[in-house]
Amino acid sequence: MSYLTKSPWILHYDASSCNGCDIEVLAALTPVYDVERFGIINTGNPKHADIFLVTGSVNEQNREILKNTYDQIPNPKVVIAVGICASSGGIFRECYNVMGGIDKVIPVDVWVPGCAARPESIIDGVVKALGILEEKRKAMKIPAGDTA
């Protein structure tokens, strides 16, 4: 992980989750799991973010917001689908207002399993995403540590 010279920042968006995964995302940031000690910060601003954490499945009303938020994140960026709802719709798959996983709207790089996803697996997903972020950075020919 020597390429990690800058702290990756996270943007979290709740597409239509039951809250279970959202509070576990926040739990990963707070003292017991504390990913902030590695410089991973939950930012509210898409323009500051590198990693896009999405919980819950998409529906007609929020697909534009999801797409819009994704477009505002500067390249290189990675998307993590947290929880089974974000991956496929999960227990709500057959509901009339659920279109399915978020990969119907934006490209997903990492899928985190679980209902609700545990903080450990969310952290695991973020670590996987860091490797993908680095590959994307190389593909864009940006020197390591330089902000794009």
Partner 1 sequence: MTKQIIVPFGPQHPVLPEPIHLDLVLEDEKVVDVIPSIGYIHRGFEKLVEKREFTEYVFIAERTCGICSFIHGATYCQGIEQIMGIQVPERANYLRTIWSEYSRLHSHLLWLGLYADSFGFENLFMNAWRIRERILDVMEQTTGGRVIQGSCKIGGVRKDISNAKLAEMNRDLDSIKREMEELTTVFLKDDTVIHRTRNVGVISRQDAFHLGAVGPTARGSGVAIDLRKTGYGAYGELDFPVITDSCGDCYSRCLVRCKELFTSVDIIQQAIAKIPDGPVDVKVTGAPNGEFFMRAEQPRGELVHYLKGNGTKFLIRSRIRTPTLTNIPPLVKMLQGCDLADVPVIVLSIDPCISCTER
Site residues, partner 1 (CB under 8 A): 12-24, 26-27, 30-32, 43-46, 56-57, 59, 61-62, 65, 69, 91-92, 94-98, 115-116, 118
Which element (helix H / strand E) includes 64?
Answer: helix 63-72
**Closest CB to partner 1 among residues 124, 135:** 124
As measured in angstroms, the least distance from the Cβ of 147 to partner 1 is 21
* Least gap, CB of 43 to partner 1 (angstroms): 8
Task: Identify the three-state secondary structure at position 80.
Answer: strand
Q: 89 near 98, Cβ under 8 Å?
A: yes
Q: How far is the CB of 57 from partner 1 (least distance, A)?
A: 8
CA within 13 Å, CB half, 141? 0
Nearer to partner 1 among residue 93 and residue 135 (C-beta): 93
User: Residues 75, 146, 110, 89: is their CA dihedral positive or negative?
Assistant: negative
